Amino acid sequence: MIQWLKELDEVLRGRKGDRALLAAGTGHIHIRPLVSISIVLGVVYGLFMGLYAVLTRTPPCYMQMFASAVKVPILFILTLVITFPSLYVFSALLGVNLNPKDTLRLILAPISANLAVLASLGPITAFFTLSTSSYAFMKLLNVFFFGVSGVIGLKVLLTMLSRLNAAQTPAVSANPSGQTDEKSDAKAAGQLIPVPQEGDMARTTFRMWLVIYGLVGAQMGWVLRPFIGAPDLPFQWFRAREANVFVDLFNTIGELFGF
C-alpha cells in the first residue's frame, strides 16, 4: 500500500513526467501500483456517490453504495480498454516511439491523477449529500466533479506527451549566424507564413483523441448507471438503455431550474 501511495505521489508532483526520465522511455512508471491505487481511489469515490441512496431512502439502500463503489473503477477500466487501441495508433502515426506496454504506462499516470482528484472531492460530495435532498443537483454536482478531474487528468497526459516528444526529438542544429537552419532557409526564401511544427500537429491530434476519450467515458457512465440512485426508483444494478447521457443531462438541468 505504501508503494502504491508513493507511486501516486510521484505522479501528482510531476516526477513521472520528468523530461530526463521520459528520454529513456516509460519504464519508471510502474503499472501494478498505479492500477491498484486507481481501483482503490475509484472505490472511495463510489462510496461517496452511493451515500445519497443511504441517506434519502427508508430503509437505507446500502446496495447502491456497494454498487457505486464497484462501478466507478469499472467505468475507468472499460473506457481505457475501448480507447486504448486508438491512443496507440495515434501515437504510432505521430512517431512517438512507444510499444503497447509503454503506451499503457503513459496513460495510467493521468488516469491515476484523475481518480486522485476525484477521490479528493469525495468529502465535498458527502457534504452536499448531507445538506440537500435534490437528486437533480447531486447528479449535476457529480458530473461537474467528473469533468473537473477528467480535465486535470487529460492535462497531465498532454504534458507528458509533449515532454516525451521533446525528449525524443533531436535538437535542430544552428548555423554560424546563430539562427536555426529552418529559420534561415525560410528567411532566404522570403517566406512570410511560419512553417507548421510537428509538435503542434501532434498536440492537435491528441486533443482530438482526448475528445473521443471524454465522449466514450461519458456514455460509459450512462451505460453503467445508476451511480447515485433516484429516490423514487427501486435499487437496480443497471437501467434499461434509453436516450443518451447528453439528453439526460439537458433534462436534469431543466428539472433543477424548473424549465
pLDDT of residue 52: 95
Q: Is the pLDDT of residue 239 over 60?
A: yes
DSSP calls for 80-146: HHHHHHHHHHHHHHTT----HHHHHHHHHHHHHHHHHHHHHTHHHHHHHHHH---HHHHHHHHHHHH
Confidence of residue 9 (pLDDT cuts 50, 70, 90): very high
For 110, the grid coordinates are 493521468
pLDDT of residue 127: 97
The average pLDDT across 57-85 equals 94
Residue 53 and residue 71 in contact, taking contact as beta carbons nearer than 8 Å: no
pLDDT of residue 163: 79
For 101, the grid coordinates are 506496454
Q: What is the DSSP letter of 214?
A: H
Q: Return the minimum-mean-pLDDT range out of 81-95, 171-185, 241-255.
A: 171-185
Q: What is the DSSP letter of 174?
A: B
Q: Express each pLDDT in 111-161 by its tens digit.
A: 999 999 999 999 999 999 999 989 999 999 999 999 999 999 888 888 887
Confidence of residue 193 (pLDDT cuts 50, 70, 90): very low
Quick count: other Cβ atoms within 10 Å of Cβ 86?
Answer: 14
Angle between the N-to-C axes of helices 198-224 and 245-257, in degrees from 0 to 180, rounded to the nearest 10:
70
DSSP calls for 180-193: BHHHHHHHHTT--S
Residue 187, exposed/middle/buried by CB under 10 A (0-12, 13-18, 19+)? Answer: exposed
Domain boundaries, the chain: 2-167+190-257
Whole-number mean pLDDT of the chain?
83
Instruction: Give the separation between CA 226 and CA 230, rounded to whole angstroms.
Output: 8
Q: Return the minimum-mean-pLDDT range out of 40-49, 105-114, 121-130.
A: 105-114
pLDDT of residue 169: 63
Strand partners, 180: 174
Angle between the N-to-C axes of helices 100-120 and 122-131, in degrees from 0 to 180, rounded to the nearest 10:
40
Angle between the N-to-C axes of helices 100-120 and 2-12, in degrees from 0 to 180, rounded to the nearest 10:
90
